[in-house]
């Protein structure tokens, strides 16, 4: 189903660009955007009106200039989509857009909102501006999708960790992941699982076994166990001692014996 969206022409800003990108990313509908004059009065042909229209009702009209809650059109659309709690990192970005657009805190030169503004063409009244608008939406959508995908992967990682098991029955400090997820350390670290010192998994591509020492805190480079030593039996041991690769399970098991 197509959903017809109206927003203003001329110079565009991060709020309406982000609002459109959010709808494209989180809606099952095909989003069709038409940019119209600021003084347009008749919006009967549109399903939603964003950052224009001099009206806010949270259903069809999303002109934040008529909203006193300190949100831009991006923030209003984010509320409309009702997924803010599920995607906290996107919510943080939306708050930055809101703060910049409503005059609370101006974006720094290389921040998201400033980069969106750079997409405006030299002639805002030419067809090039509509192309620039679309380019800006695609840029915003890519960033938002990256944040969305990362959060979805974190939720998936929780299930993977829950379904994992001890690598060695004689040791409770090494967990074997059901399958690899780059977000395992969100749930296995010195704060949440201090007794788990490392994770092991089998590489689906070549069948090798890999190990990583868990961090003391999420995002920290400080390790929750002693560093892995160099060993000629291993395919690779990182010089920093946090990661190693064995050709097979047996080699990994022998390597780890007494080391963690």
pLDDT of residue 170: 75
- pLDDT one digit per residue (tens) for the chain, 260 residues: 999 999 999 999 999 999 999 999 999 999 999 999 999 999 999 999 999 999 999 999 999 888 778 899 999 999 999 999 999 999 999 999 999 999 999 999 999 999 999 999 999 999 999 999 999 999 999 999 999 999 999 999 999 999 999 998 778 899 999 999 999 999 999 999 999 999 999 999 999 999 999 999 999 999 999 999 999 999 999 999 999 999 999 999 999 998 88
CA–CA distance, 159 with 161 (Å, rounded to integer): 5
Q: What is the pTM of this model?
A: 0.80
CA–CA distance, 17 with 137 (Å, rounded to integer): 5
CA–CA distance, 22 with 78 (Å, rounded to integer): 7
CA–CA distance, 47 with 77 (Å, rounded to integer): 13
pLDDT of residue 95: 97
pLDDT of residue 164: 95
């Amino acid at each position: 189903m197509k959903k017809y969206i109206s927003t203003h022409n001329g110079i565009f800003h991060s709020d309406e660009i982000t609002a459109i990108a959010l709808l494209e990313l989180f809606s099952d509908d095909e989003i069709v955007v038409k940019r119209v004059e600021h003084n347009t009065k008749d919006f009967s042909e549109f399903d939603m009106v964003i950052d224009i229209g001099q009206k806010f009702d949270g259903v069809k009209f999303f002109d934040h200039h008529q909203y006193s809650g300190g949100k831009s059109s991006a923030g209003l659309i984010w509320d409309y989509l009702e997924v803010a709690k599920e995607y906290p990192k996107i919510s943080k970005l939306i708050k930055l857009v809101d703060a910049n657009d409503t005059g609370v805190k101006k974006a720094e030169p290389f921040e998201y909102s400033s980069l969106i503004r750079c997409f405006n063409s030299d002639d805002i009244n030419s067809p090039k501006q509509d192309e620039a608008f679309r380019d800006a939406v695609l840029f915003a959508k890519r960033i938002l999708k990256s944040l969305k995908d990362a959060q979805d992967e974190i939720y998936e990682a929780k299930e993977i960790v829950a379904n994992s098991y001890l690598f060695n029955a004689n040791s409770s400090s090494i967990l074997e992941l059901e399958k690899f997820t780059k977000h395992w350390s969100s749930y296995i670290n010195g704060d949440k699982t201090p007794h788990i010192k490392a994770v092991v998994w089998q590489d689906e591509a070549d069948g090798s076994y890999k190990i990583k020492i868990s961090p003391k805190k999420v995002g920290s480079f400080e390790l929750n166990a002693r560093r892995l030593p160099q060993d000629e039996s291993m395919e690779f041991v990182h010089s920093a001692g946090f990661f190693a690769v064995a050709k097979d399970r047996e080699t990994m098991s022998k390597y780890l014996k007494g080391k963690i």
